[in-house]
Structure 1
């Protein structure tokens, strides 16, 4: 019998090509903006969290999320792409499961990602 010498991290990541949900496809950045940037931990830390519970208001979550992102978008960064990259970090539990179950390529712009409020 062969011994599997992979680490726990390697085993837990098997089958995942990246941490980005397959349902999100990024478009090109707006003119004079870049889509190459690093998400800062302060942005992720200040993002509101949405769990997908019946007592939560998805519209309020989106408004709060947009306020945080708009106040922390670096100069020359496409704000819509920043929101699309940061949004999965604002979802927890049932809401995150929903995001990862969407068909590949479902979300192609920030405006399209708002559809979760109708489905949840």
Structure 2
């Protein structure tokens, strides 16, 4: 692996803070991994090998706590990551906020 790629990945690490967007993290991570092509090595293998470098703090602790046999495919890692850092409860909360949105009488829509 090129040190510059590892540096880019480590400059875009996901910690697991509430304000962080796990979907954006995965999008950026996959985009960075897409810059690497190794003869006869599938993209998923590259992603699986580099993903730990993209995590820090509680996100890294979460990954390290997973049973290794559960991490056999990139899609498994991706699904588990999103389930942990963007759980269904958070999705439902966002939907509820959209559905119950209301504008006050003297409030501009941009201020609501």
TM range (shorter): 0.5 to 0.7
- Aligned to 2:20, what secondary structure does the other structure show? coil
Which residue in the other structure is 1:67 paired with?
31
- Aligned to 1:105, what secondary structure does the other structure show? helix
What does 1:91-110 correspond to in 2, within 5 Å?
A: 91-110=55-74
In the alignment, the residues of structure 1 paired with residue 13 and residue 53 of structure 2 have an alpha-carbon distance, to the nearest angstrom, of: 8
Larger mean CA deviation between 66-75 and 45-54 belongs to 66-75
Q: 1:111 aligns with which of 75, 79, 82?
A: 75
Structure 1, unaligned stretches of length 5 or more?
1-38
Q: 1:83 aligns with which of 43, 47, 59?
A: 47
Find the structure with the greater CA-based Rg: 2
TM-score (norm 2): 0.68
Which residue in the other structure is 1:33 paired with?
none
TM-score (norm 1): 0.63
What number of residue pairs does the alignment pair up?
A: 82
In the alignment, the residues of structure 1 paired with residue 7 and residue 28 of structure 2 have an alpha-carbon distance, to the nearest angstrom, of: 13
Q: 1:51 aligns with which of 2, 15, 31?
A: 15
- Aligned to 1:72, what secondary structure does the other structure show? coil
1:72 shift after superposition: 2.1
Higher-helix-fraction structure: 2
Structure 2, unaligned stretches of length 5 or more?
86-112
1:73 shift after superposition: 2.5
| Coordinate RMSD, CA, aligned | 1.2
